[in-house]
Amino acid sequence: MAPTTTPLPPRCGRRFTLTRYYTRITSPGYDMDKHYGHNQQCTWVIKVPANRILMFRFKGDFSIFTYPGSGKCIDWVEVRTMENTRGNNVDRVCGYKRPRGLWRSKKGLVITFKASSTVPWIPLRRGFQASIYAYRRS
């Protein structure tokens, strides 16, 4: 009898310097029209060269599980700029309406996705996609 193995969760998050104009990130499973899994945490650390500025915006479908009727974030995405080392410049988002904000940074961003829910309501956990641009500073 062959030994059985437990599949590893998909790798997510990474560290990089954005030297080209554009990239995008997604939660696990987003590009496959699936839901993200339980108990996942992904962190993207995105730096930018000194002559550029980062701009971050959510795009497309946005579905990060929120406890029904309460608005309480069970799963979340956190956007933190590197300008403030004390962590005061942090936004944590969740829900089913895509945030319309635009985040900017001259140093970099740290994006963290945390999925702790174990609920079976799969349609409520599509995830997110985001566009990140590196513009030349004037």
pLDDT of 3 over the 80 cut: no
Query: Which CATH architecture describes the domain 14-136?
Result: Sandwich (2.60)
Alpha-carbon torsion (48, 132, 96, 29), positive or negative: negative
Q: What phi, psi does 64 have (nearest 5°)? A: -115, 120
Q: What pLDDT digit, counting tens, does each position of 7-62 carry?
A: 334 468 999 999 889 999 999 988 887 788 888 899 999 999 999 999 999 999 99
Q: What is the pLDDT of residue 119?
A: 65
Closest CA to 84 of 112, 106, 61: 106
Q: Which amino acid is at 133?
A: Y
Residue 117 token pair: 């829910």
Domain segments of the chain: what residues?
A: 14-136
